[in-house]
A and B are shown apart, each in its own frame.
Chain A
């Protein structure tokens, strides 16, 4: 079914959604911040 194939092709072209160094940096920074908050919470628990 050509219509479905075109839609699938269009969808697959969108992957990966974001691929850039800047995104990775921001993402890892958010990751680190959350892990830091978790660490502080565990310390508070102790």
Chain B
């Protein structure tokens, strides 16, 4: 996080705000609600309180304006610059301006007013832009489905104002650090020749073209997928990726989530009702066999016959000796299985049933 140069802050904790005018894109009640929720994010984690004034001069004046609106920082039409806000202080200090040339929404379509307001109010309170892509104070617009303060945002605002008096204040999500030696994964899949790693709300992507590991929100590709994906596999011959969470699964083709999903794993694959979720999954392109790992057992599913093979489940330890009794994630590449459990990664040769190497889970990120 970054505090604004000069560390400007409000010297009082009971602040006021007023919405000077309304965008025609939403009802006044929807605008009021979005702004109120945005203030609540910050008051939940600090001693600050925010009171809405119906008229007169408030500490934080909120308005929808376009083009040159005489604050020395003209807007630029639709796209580009969406909004801006001034650091704490008298007069224009703390004020937030939203570009009326944008379309303001209360859903995942561009641009979600709640999401942008949460960011701008961070500026109104003394925060600058954060380099943490998972933080609300990251400068570029990314709507990840839910609007929540990341731990980075909380650390920043509490550096200025301290914690809230409410003992049950929320903690924030942590953005994965690709070179953190303690990094673990929720799911991993091959995808059109690349590898995609999943953790909480984020994906990480390593490809040969660009050495830097790409990290961003899963919602950038698939807005309707939930965070916390538990398993994923590529069905290469149909160019599909299947994502699993709980007893549901989704199928995507490129960036499109296929219609009719999510579906239920029991009716689709024939799992017994005792199976509540899948830990990991991988499909072999050459045999059409998909392996599902659940606790210390695994099932084998025939994608051609679309039914579970007989004699399953079997014990993981029996057919994949040495990789332990639980799998977080798995993929197959160049004929070998790569099993992940915690920070460990096992390269496994199914022909000889032997582990060929043991590595750190994030060894693919060239740290």
A-B complex is real:
no
Residues on A facing B (Cβ under 8 Å): none
Interface residues of B (CB under 8 A from A): none
